[in-house]
Amino acid sequence: MSYTSWAILAMVVYGANAVLLKLALRQVPAEVALAVTNTVLVMAGFALVVFRGQSIIAHLNGSLSTVYLGLACVTLTVGVVAFYTALSRGPASVVVPIFAMNFAVASLLGIVFLGEGMTVSRVVGLLLAIGSIILLTR
């Protein structure tokens, strides 16, 4: 599958996940849901590593990539905990669109720090996305 196919799959499945998670959070505390869902995620990650014949230790060699991976762990943890907490306290129709704006943050950071090109269409797309979030959260 192409990267765009994977991205579309992630979009659809993650959207469904938010609704299922919101339903679960009606009776399950956010911390419990966080622990259960992420334990399953970690187990799936280890299964993929084994299935694809990768070595975790070989890639954690103290390089700059290891530092970036560590920082990604911190930001992912904060983001997921914040998302679960927000979803447990607020309506999915507001929380999920705000959370979904992470793509705009990633896009801007990619332009600034990764040297990815900024085009008029990207700027317009980001502005439209921001506008859609404003409309969806009112």
Nearest CA to 24 out of 119, 107, 16, 113 is that of 16
Q: Give me the residue label for tokens 């317009």.
A: 124
Q: Residue 108 class from Cβ within 10 Å (0-12 exposed, 13-18 middle, 19+ buried)?
A: middle
Predicted local distance difference test score (pLDDT) of residue 134: 86
Predicted local distance difference test score (pLDDT) of residue 138: 80
Predicted local distance difference test score (pLDDT) of residue 89: 96
The structural domains of the chain, with segments of one domain joined by +, span: 3-100
71-82, pLDDT tens digit by residue? 999 999 999 999
Nearest CA to 127 out of 116, 118, 138 is that of 118
User: pLDDT below 50 — which residues of the chain?
Assistant: none
CB 88 within 8 A of CB 29: yes
